[in-house]
A and B are shown apart, each in its own frame.
Chain A
Amino acid sequence: MKFNKILKNALLIIVACLALSACATKKAGTGQMQGDVYTGKDTVEYLASGVPDRVFFATNESVLTTASRETLRKQAAWLRKNSKINIVLEGHADERGTREYNLALGERRANAAKDYLMTYGVSSDRISVLSYGKERPVDSGSNPLSWSKNRRSVTVKAN
């Protein structure tokens, strides 16, 4: 009985250690960016199992990366199957740009995603676009990793 308890505590400690070390590696940000495009999963949510809701961009860019195109093809396939669902593409920028330019940049990013979804058979009347510029960051940090998470286009169900 007593031995059992000790074992349990030890296990808890081991689990806690593991969690801590995971945190530590996350903070270092290793392997979460390619160039300055975010490739991690921290902030990603899912429209359906295996269908990530967002794609990420390089600084000042609206070009879709290979990974982004793959994500959008998954979204397109899912949207074709669920033809009653409409979406809003929310375009965002990081905090390192002037407010008005970033509004335009967010709009440009969301439209890059829209164009790609349309190429893969999603009708344009199911898609609306909304730019938030730098007004709605997901990560409030002031460092390159945080900024990379904020440069994004998020596909949100509208109904």
Chain B
Amino acid sequence: MIRKLILLFLVFFPSNTYGLIKVDITRGNLDPLPLAVSPLAIDIESKNKFKKILNKQDIGSEISIIVERNLKTSGLFNPLNKEAFLQKPDIANLKPRFEDWKLIKAQALITGKVNFVDEKLRVEFRLWDILAGREMMALAFTTVPTNWRRVGHIISDKVYERLTGEKGYFDTRIIYVAEEGPKTQRVKKLAIMDQDGFNNKFLTLGNELVLTPRFNKTSQLVTYLSYFRNLPRVYLLDIETGTQEVVGDFPGMTFAPRFSPDGKKIIMSFAKDGNSDIYTMDLESRVVDRITNHPSIDTSPSYSPDGKFISFNSDRSGYQQIYVMDSNGKNVKRISFGKGLYGTPVWSPRGDLIAFTKLHKGKFYIGVMRTDGSGERLLTENFYQEAPSWSPNGRVLIFYRETKTNDEGKGFSAKLWSIDLTGYNEREVKTPTDASDPSWSSLLSN
């Protein structure tokens, strides 16, 4: 699906530095920027064509709703109520009457137009700075009509980037484990969806237990743990072709897989005779390297984005703690020294932070610390939550949370949640079934 996508970027005007609006995303944003997302204008003929193809009444309005929802979910923007808009979409797109938009307190305005051209969907959009009274950006895309949701996400990313100065994370997908059934006999399937919960698709049937899927940053490959034939092993799945293969030939359980940043290796744990150590396997040469050799449990390895370091958790001190070492296994250093147990370290895409799960006095926390262990900051506390995964811009973490059951053992649920690095904007990421083990893809278009 990704390769089929044809996107033509036609930059009308180079995005320049005139813009006066700037959204600061480094602090918790308690005062989101008010902006107006005008429905994209569409002519009657195009409207009818898309109605037939996509079964949507007004595709222009639908795309603008995606943009609106994305920007609102980010917590940085406050899309204003459309009923207050004074200007019609087509006229606003030509030349907004800035006073009208100032009146409803919009600081930025998004307008656009949708056309049906040669069986394709053509979308142009503009971002306007209301206070300065000028255009900040104008772009156009052409793609197959079925990609209409992605167009909405790409517009969201462009707006986010223009207004915050950092890349967005909307044209992305989440792979996760869909869960159903009683707690003692959970049925688990791999599932994938757009970042906003749409286009959900199950990738396995649920015949065998599957856990911990993780994206490759550079392609459509996923690595995960499957109990196929009751042999828990790390697998590789191509989500475009559906091809699956077991990774390596280990005489025992392999688990906790992740890709190296260049996508060429898988790093994972291999358990033998009661001892788990960390190994890598080169996907091309199939060469296996042992990275740790210690009688403790060493697991949950994750590379730094430059591939030079590995973080992992180990109970070599007696309890589960976080360590960092060189990618060849040398210079192992413990970095977590706070009270409690620490696990599931994941290096941020920016390289400056490690997100983790912490257990202290019966509560579970998602937190971040610098890569030397300093500056520990806990973002959220709950009965049970773990396994953070970073948005590609390193600003948001997605993780899963489980509820406590009642005295009869009833009321169990597992859900995906996200929270900003600032500790603000905590929200549930809706999924059709219960869900766990989320992994965030990189930006699909770039």
Q: Are A and B associated in one complex?
A: yes
Q: Which of A101, A104, A110, A141 has the most CB of B within 10 A?
A: A104
Across the interface, do A101 and B300 meet the contact criterion of CB distance under 8 Å? yes
B347 at the interface (CB under 8 A from A): no
Pick from A135, A139, A142: contact of B209, CB below 8 A: A135
A126 at the interface (CB under 8 A from B): no
B191 at the interface (CB under 8 A from A): no
Q: What CA separation (Å) do A98 and B359 show in the bound complex? A: 9
Pick from A99, A105, A143: contact of B297, CB below 8 A: A105
Across the interface, do A131 and B384 meet the contact criterion of CB distance under 8 Å? no
B269 at the interface (CB under 8 A from A): yes
Q: What CA separation (Å) do A115 and B319 show in the bound complex? A: 23
Q: What CA separation (Å) do A142 and B297 show in the bound complex? A: 25
Across the interface, do B405 and A130 meet the contact criterion of CB distance under 8 Å? no
Flag A80-98 by CB within 8 Å of B: 1 or 0 each: 0000000000000001111
Q: What CA separation (Å) do A97 and B387 show in the bound complex? A: 11
Flag B214-257 by CB within 8 Å of A: 1 or 0 each: 00000000000100001010000000000000000000110110
A138 CB, min distance to chain B CBs, angstroms: 6
Chain A residues near B405: list those with CB within 8 A. 140-142
Chain A, interface size: which category?
A: 20 to 34
Across the interface, do B299 and A104 meet the contact criterion of CB distance under 8 Å? yes
Pick from A98, A104, A141: contact of B386, CB below 8 A: A98
Q: Which of B253, B269, B313, B386 has the most CB of A within 10 A?
A: B253
Across the interface, do B256 and A100 meet the contact criterion of CB distance under 8 Å? yes
Of all chain B residues, which has the CB nearest A136?
A: B184
Q: In the complex where A95-B384, A141-B405 touch, is A107 in contact with B271 (Cβ < 8 A)?
A: yes
Q: What CA separation (Å) do A62 and B274 show in the bound complex? A: 9
Across the interface, do A146 and B409 meet the contact criterion of CB distance under 8 Å? yes
Pick from B275, B383, B384, B409: contact of A140, CB below 8 A: B409
B320 at the interface (CB under 8 A from A): yes
Across the interface, do B253 and A107 meet the contact criterion of CB distance under 8 Å? yes
Chain B, 354-382, CB within 8 A of any chain A CB: 357, 359, 362
Q: What CA separation (Å) do A146 and B269 show in the bound complex? A: 29
A108 at the interface (CB under 8 A from B): yes
Of all chain B residues, which has the CB nearest A111?
A: B274
A64 at the interface (CB under 8 A from B): no
A43 CB, min distance to chain B CBs, angstroms: 11
Across the interface, do A138 and B184 meet the contact criterion of CB distance under 8 Å? yes
Chain A residues near B402: list those with CB within 8 A. 95
Chain B, 298-330, CB within 8 A of any chain A CB: 299-300, 313, 315, 319-320
Q: In the complex where A105-B297, A131-B253, A136-B184 touch, is A98 in contact with B274 (Cβ < 8 A)?
A: no
Across the interface, do A131 and B186 meet the contact criterion of CB distance under 8 Å? no
Chain B residues near A27: list those with CB within 8 A. 407
Flag A124-159 by CB within 8 Å of B: 1 or 0 each: 000001110001111111110010000000000000
Across the interface, do A99 and B387 meet the contact criterion of CB distance under 8 Å? yes
Pick from B182, B299, B319, B362: contact of A60, CB below 8 A: B319
Across the interface, do A98 and B271 meet the contact criterion of CB distance under 8 Å? no
Across the interface, do A141 and B407 meet the contact criterion of CB distance under 8 Å? yes
Q: What CA separation (Å) do A143 and B404 show in the bound complex? A: 9
Across the interface, do B274 and A108 meet the contact criterion of CB distance under 8 Å? yes
Flag B267-311 by CB within 8 Å of A: 1 or 0 each: 001010111100000000000000000000101100000000000
Across the interface, do A101 and B299 meet the contact criterion of CB distance under 8 Å? yes
Pick from A105, A130, A131, A141: contact of B409, CB below 8 A: A141
Q: In the complex where A62-B274, A141-B409 touch, is A96 in contact with B359 (Cβ < 8 A)?
A: yes
Chain A, 99-124, CB within 8 A of any chain B CB: 99-101, 103-105, 107-108, 110-112, 115
Chain B residues near A139: list those with CB within 8 A. 184, 409
Flag B382-406 by CB within 8 Å of A: 1 or 0 each: 0110110000000000000010110
Flag B405-438 by CB within 8 Å of A: 1 or 0 each: 1010110100000000000000000000000010
A36 CB, min distance to chain B CBs, angstroms: 13
Q: What CA separation (Å) do A99 and B404 show in the bound complex? A: 16
* A-B contact sample (18 more), CB < 8 A, given A99-B387, A103-B256, A104-B276: A95-B402, A98-B300, A99-B211, A99-B212, A99-B437, A100-B299, A101-B343, A103-B225, A103-B255, A104-B297, A104-B299, A108-B271, A135-B186, A135-B209, A136-B184, A140-B409, A140-B412, A142-B405
Which 6 pairs across A and B sit closest by C-beta, in order of nearness? A111-B274, A140-B409, A140-B183, A104-B276, A98-B343, A142-B404
Q: Which residues of B contact A (CB under 8 A)?
A: 182-186, 209, 211-212, 225, 230, 232, 252-253, 255-256, 269, 271, 273-276, 297, 299-300, 313, 315, 319-320, 341, 343-344, 357, 359, 362, 383-384, 386-387, 402, 404-405, 407, 409-410, 412, 437
A-B contact pairs, 8 of them (CB 8 A): A60-B315, A95-B384, A98-B387, A99-B211, A100-B299, A101-B315, A107-B271, A140-B184
